[in-house]
Chain A
């Protein structure tokens, strides 16, 4: 690293050194300089790396690449990896989402077992009015009676049934699935299924009626106050994001009649509660051509990267030869192909920019992608505030009886 070569190792870092420490090096077989070194004291007393909110605000940049309702891609530049990762983890596991949890089976004569059907119903992503979803409260589901450890924790916390463990209109959404399959008849459907079957027709859609149970067959039954928030006219009623999800297949005489209770949950509990199809980020790749790559080598070099990453331009000193120039590093997939060829493997340095995160947030459809990202930022702030004493009252209990401490304010707060 250049810092060790300078005459005074305790001087503040020069701009080029600051640029250098932002790069994670990508080598043929390894990745180096992965740890962030912007910690106060690491580069000597003259380099000020301590937390400075205004400097952070000036350096932070957010650039959108595309912002479709359920698919957003943006660059978050200037945060540390731990914070970007916190946002990603919260998006995946900690944002409350509505999904089917309890399935009460009245009639299931189909070939799909009850539990398999319930599992499939739970995985169907639902959507509805945003205002209503925010209004919905949590339902604290009591643990099963045969799970003694969980029961003990539950009794310690709850005592008797609190309001949150009773299904009510403010914490549970009810969906009904009631489908019966029968032969198609001339009178009701305009075709005689049995006769067609005798003639050789094998398509179940023609022979029978309701042989396929789709997600669109789930009917929302507003309870109590829910009609105010979820109604037909404003298209805010609870419905599956994709109505064409095949839930089960039936044959004549088989029936599925179930009532589903949907509650709010988080992805950490069950993946069905995760609001994102996936949320991921990658670091911006960096290609640094240290010596000019000309002519045929330049063409070969450009083919080592995805289209659009490397462009060929007339060389500065020798204008009949083309030289390789980096055009768009964002398109690069960092396959390190160029490091496999002797002609230019020593003329290029690959790396990634440590604080440039290219996020891709794909929502399952319940919430919008950019709104989800904002929720994840707010949730991290709520975590920080609830664990500290910022605006709350906390008591710090202690393990050792001989410990005396001061500082943190007192008070218990309950749910």
Chain B
């Protein structure tokens, strides 16, 4: 594996640079739930997500497949007794798998934003038009 010229050194997180604790107050944060499986290259990689299942797996697979630079994307759950989800991404030439994964996750977050906004607007509009909650 050739060393890339823009290889960045891994730095420690700045002290106090916590994740979004304010919004995620309810959700217990875990350490290192995302691993790279051996045999991965820059354009074809397998990831192992711990404590994840079809909920995120299928949705993430869909978002990554919507990226035209992705040649292959699939997920599997090696054994239902273990909460591990494997995700494989293969990209066309010179596209970094990590960027694709990051984009897929960002796109999924954007999708949730849009759904939340539209749902709230529709719910408020319905409540305003139907005070008793029933459809006329």
Contacts and interface: CB of A to CB of B under 8 A. Distances in A.
Contacts of B135: 64-66
Contact of B119 (A264, A374, A390): A374
Contact of A40 (B59, B67, B101, B106): B67
A329 B105 CA distance: 36
A308 B123 CA distance: 26
B68 A74 contact: no
Contact of A62 (B28, B31, B35, B119): B119
Given A90-B55, A385-B109, A399-B36, A370 B134 contact: no
A235 B99 CA distance: 50
B4 interface: yes
B93 interface: no
Chain A contact patch, size range? 35 or more
A86 to B, nearest CB: 4
Contacts of B122: 61-64, 74
A94 B119 contact: no
Interface in A264-309: 264
Given A61-B118, A67-B126, A80-B62, A388 B10 contact: no
B112 A398 contact: no
Size bracket of the B interface: 35 or more
A41 B127 CA distance: 42
A196 interface: no
B133 A66 contact: yes
A356 to B, nearest CB: 14
Interface-centre pick from A49, A82, A399, A412 (highest chain B CB count, 10 A): A82
Contacts of B111: 53, 56, 79, 83
Contacts of A2: none
B108 A40 contact: no
Interface string B52-95: 11111011111101111000000000000000000000000000
A134 B52 CA distance: 24
Contacts of B17: 393, 411
A316 interface: no
A110 to B, nearest CB: 37
A406 B6 contact: yes
Contact of A382 (B24, B31, B36): B24
A59 to B, nearest CB: 10
Contacts of A49: 66
B67 A51 contact: yes
Contacts, number: 223
Given A64-B126, A400-B39, A86 B55 contact: yes
A397 B32 contact: yes
A60 B38 CA distance: 40
A93 to B, nearest CB: 8
A198 interface: no
A60 B121 CA distance: 12
Contact of A138 (B18, B28, B31, B61): B28
A327 interface: no
Contacts of B38: 398-400, 403
Contacts of A378: 23, 112, 116
A83 B135 CA distance: 26
A384 interface: yes
Nearest to B101: A388
A261 interface: no
A126 B49 CA distance: 33
A351 interface: no
Interface of A: 39-41, 49-51, 53, 56-57, 60-69, 74, 76, 79-80, 82-83, 85-86, 89-90, 93-94, 96, 134, 138, 140, 264, 370, 373-374, 377-400, 402-415
Given A85-B54, A415-B29, 18 more contacts: A40-B68, A49-B66, A57-B114, A67-B126, A89-B53, A89-B54, A380-B112, A383-B55, A384-B109, A390-B106, A398-B35, A398-B36, A399-B35, A403-B1, A404-B1, A408-B102, A410-B11, A413-B19
13 contacts: A53-B110, A62-B115, A377-B116, A379-B27, A381-B109, A387-B33, A400-B39, A403-B40, A407-B98, A409-B11, A410-B10, A411-B12, A413-B13
Interface of B: 1, 3-4, 6-8, 10-13, 17-20, 23-24, 26-40, 42, 49, 52-56, 58-63, 65-68, 96, 98-99, 101-102, 105-116, 118-123, 126-127, 130, 133-135
